[in-house]
Amino acid sequence: MNSYKKKILEARKQVLKLTIEQEKQIIEIYSKAASNLIDDILDMPDSRTKTHKIDCAKIINNYTKELYENLNNNILENTWESSYIQRKVILDLADQVAPNRHISDRLKNNITKISDNAVRTLIAGGYYEDGKTLSKRLWNITKENGKNIDTLIKTNIAGGANVRTLANELEKYVNPKKRLVSKSFKAGINSYKISYNAQRLARTSITHAAAETQIQNAKRNPFSLGLKWNLSASHSSRMHGKQDECDDREGKVYKPNDTPLQHPNCLCFFTEEVDIEKAIKELKEWSNGASNPKIDKWYEEEYTPKDISNKSTKTIARVDNKNGKIKISNIYLLNK
């Protein structure tokens, strides 16, 4: 096994480790938000006034806001980390094939730019048909969590539950560590599922960040022979012996422009096919003056990606203390 393939396997292990760690982090985020929610519920009076309803709305929306902001920060951080892990493999390959430091530095500079733009495009929803940003997808998930909590509170209050009973019933839903189902839950609501969609989004973001880092760099690599689809080691067990589109794609080598993204929750991965010895030979001959139209074209274009924008947006959730309603606003950040 050559050093390039070893780097690929090392990166794969790191991405899987990142995925496992993130799952634990998300459970902790939900558990902490649950603890704060229960504390706020227990501080409420047992009255049924208009103020009581507003207090409930504030509590639910504060919970939703806390959940959204903490999940958003966590998923963004791990999405970038996944790309960093993958680009290290590509940067190492650049060092391996470049005949001199000048070409190596140029390659590595553009690999970094391409990889950064790949993640920004992913976060902005540029690779998806519906165009939804990562923040929008996450907000929809946390908003649904809040909506379910509101339903549970109203159901229990209508049934005459006091504050302590309400808190006990809520904890069964909002704390994923409890893994309980209550008789007061409507169909489809239980603590097994509260963090499922956030976990699904987070896992997919890590997978797609690594994949798009590979795909976008492969598009600009004159020596790329394509991207090979590899089934994850856990594919069969996760599918319970059934098959899906991943089984049909196993072992196929796709042109970078035709490479399909993994489906949500998928752990399959790509390996870029490159004839390293040929790349080393051609780059060395070209740097010594030999004619090579393919490399000439690449060099003239300076291997520079197009920036998707000079701005990025950050979604901020705020709770109105007067009426307990939540407000969403976007602020623009200048990309450095």
Each residue's pLDDT tens digit, 249-294: 999 999 999 999 999 989 999 999 999 999 999 999 998 888 899 9
| C-alpha span between 219 and 111 (Å, rounded) | 11
- Rounded CA Rg of the chain: 25
- Expressed in angstroms, the distance from the first to the final Cα of the chain is 39
Sheet holding 269-274, edge to edge: 253-254, 224-230, 269-274
Helices (H) and strands (E) in the chain, counts: 10, 5
**Predicted TM-score (pTM) of this structure:** 0.84
Does 302 have pLDDT greater than 80? no
Confidence tier at 169 by pLDDT (50, 70, 90): confident
Q: Hey, where are the domains in the chain?
A: 3-221
> How confident is the model at residue 45, as a pLDDT?
76
Burial status of residue 294 (CB atoms within 10 A of its CB: 0-12, 13-18, 19 or more) = exposed
- According to DSSP, the residues that pair with 229 across neighbouring strands are 270
Tokens describing residue 333: 């950040």
Confidence tier at 97 by pLDDT (50, 70, 90): very high
> How confident is the model at residue 186, as a pLDDT?
47
Q: Which residues have C-beta within 8 Å of that of residue 185, sequence separation ≥ 6?
A: 152, 172, 173
Which helix (H) or strand (E) covers residue 221, if one does? none
| C-alpha span between 199 and 169 (Å, rounded) | 23
Query: Which DSSP letter does residue 1 get?
Result: -
